[in-house]
């Protein structure tokens, strides 16, 4: 089940990027980021009203856990700053490299709720295979 959800998450990102790319072309990257978040906020509030969900801020949770959205904005700007210099293909490949390294650290240390797992030789080999695959893609 969670594998199907993960596939779905990846697929809709592609569709989202097509629409958001058009928006960004029309109004520029800074304004488009604001619009995307505002539209998202309204969409979510409608869904929450339908689902009868309430919003409440809880003090006992560390503030740092509320920063996911802020970090997400930096993703957009990092992409924008690099894409014009090194091109879309390399940005995608390096982006995956960054994702892999961060995921490995989270998994190895068991941070942010990730189940702690050890890094074995076979895992390293399979990740090298992944990197070769990415190399082929950007050829």
Long-range contacts, stretch 10-15, CB < 8 angstroms, 24+ apart: none
Q: How many CB atoms lie within 10 A of CB 124?
A: 11
What mask, x for binding other proteins by CB under 8 A, covers residues 49 to 88? --x-x-xx-x--x--xxxxxxxxxxxxxxxx-xxx-xx--
How far apart are CB 46 and other proteins at their closest, in Å?
Answer: 10
Instruction: Evaluate whether 136 touches 88 at the Cβ level (below 8 Å).
Output: no
What mask, x for binding other proteins by CB under 8 A, covers residues 94 to 133? xxxxxxxxxxx-xx---xxxxx-x--x-xx-xxxxxx-xx
Name which of residues 6 to 25 contact other proteins (CB under 8 A): 6-20, 22-23
Enumerate the H helices of 87-120 as residue ranges: 88-109
Name which of residues 26 to 45 contact other proteins (CB under 8 A): 26-31, 33-41, 43-45
Number of residues that bind other proteins (CB under 8 A): 105
How far apart are CB 10 and other proteins at their closest, in Å?
Answer: 3
Burial 80-90, CB ≥16 within 10 A → b, else e: eeeeeeeeeee
């Amino acid at each position: 089940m969670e594998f199907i959800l993960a596939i779905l998450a990846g697929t809709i990102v592609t569709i989202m990027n097509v629409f958001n790319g058009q928006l960004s072309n029309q109004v520029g990257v800074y304004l488009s980021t604001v619009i995307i978040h505002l539209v998202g906020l309204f969409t979510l509030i409608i869904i929450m009203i339908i689902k009868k969900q309430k919003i409440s801020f809880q003090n006992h949770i560390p503030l740092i856990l509320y920063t996911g959205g802020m970090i997400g904005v930096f993703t957009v700007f990092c992409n924008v700053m690099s894409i014009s210099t090194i091109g879309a293909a390399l940005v995608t490949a390096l982006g995956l490299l960054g994702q892999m390294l961060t995921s490995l650290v989270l998994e190895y240390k068991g941070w942010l709720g990730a189940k702690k797992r050890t890094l074995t030789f076979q895992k390293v080999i399979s990740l090298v295979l992944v990197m070769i695959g990415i190399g082929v893609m950007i050829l």
